[in-house]
């Protein structure tokens, strides 16, 4: 076998290796992309920053309700978004959810039970939890079972992989 033949064989091996790598890399990128679309979840606390710092659902982020439109620019519209505030009496989460839907977010839900319900059921939180509202039991003001944009504590816990 002469030098030219050896070079041709080496180039063929390299070409096969590169095309195999390209296929593997493309496949991996596709799998990661699909997984990220399925697993994308954003939980937003819209209480005042001091209340967020005191206690919030583990993994949630804080966004002032008047900054939601700026925040929305940072996320994919296919992201599942759950918005919450203090409890069933708070309407800020509804307001923010409407703003997100107006910005064409496809999957926006309100956790109406809010921080107080989550805390009272001893689910994972971050912060000391010293605020009094966390201990006050507030029942829903209306029947929430017929509202498709409401997410329950059980449903949110499942999304966050939290055992009840």
pLDDT, tens only, 90-138: 999 999 999 999 999 999 999 999 999 999 999 999 999 999 999 999 9
Residues 50 and 105 in one domain: yes
**Tokens 């929430």 belong to residue:** 144
Residues 126 and 138 occupy one common structural domain: yes
Residues 135 and 92 in one domain: yes
- Do the domain assignments include residue 164? no
Q: Give the integer Cα–Cα distance in Å for 2 and 127.
A: 73
> Where does 9-164 show beta strands of DSSP type E?
41-45, 56-57, 61-62, 80-84, 107-111, 125-126
How confident is the model at residue 39, as a pLDDT?
A: 55
Instruction: Tell me: do 24 and 47 sit in the same domain.
Output: no
Q: How many domains does the chain have?
A: 2
- Domain residues for 15? 1-37
Q: Is the pLDDT of residue 18 over 80?
A: no
**Residue 1, domain member (yes or no):** yes
**Residue 86 forms part of a structural domain:** yes
| pLDDT in the model for residue 29 | 45
Percentage of the residues of the chain whose pLDDT score is greater than 90: 69
Higher model confidence: residue 145 or residue 104? 104
* Inside any domain, residue 115: yes
Q: What pLDDT digit, counting tens, does each position of 37-51 carry?
A: 445 899 999 999 999
What is this structure's pTM? 0.75
Query: Do the domain assignments include residue 140?
Result: yes
**Residues 140, 84: one domain?**
yes
């Amino acid at each position: 076998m002469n030098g030219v033949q050896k070079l041709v064989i080496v180039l063929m091996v390299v070409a096969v290796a590169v095309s195999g790598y390209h296929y593997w890399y493309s496949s991996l990128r596709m799998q990661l992309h699909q997984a990220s679309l399925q697993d994308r979840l954003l939980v937003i606390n819209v209480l005042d920053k001091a209340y967020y710092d005191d206690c919030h659902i583990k993994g949630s982020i804080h966004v002032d309700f008047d900054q939601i439109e700026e925040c929305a620019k940072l996320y994919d519209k296919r992201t599942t978004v759950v918005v919450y505030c203090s409890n069933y009496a708070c309407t800020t989460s509804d307001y923010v959810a409407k703003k997100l839907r107006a910005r064409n977010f496809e999957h926006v839900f309100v956790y109406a039970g809010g921080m107080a319900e989550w805390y009272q059921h001893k689910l994972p939180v971050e912060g000391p939890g010293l605020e009094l509202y966390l201990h006050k039991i507030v029942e829903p003001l209306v029947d929430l079972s017929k509202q498709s944009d409401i997410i329950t504590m059980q449903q949110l816990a499942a999304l966050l992989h939290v055992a009840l």
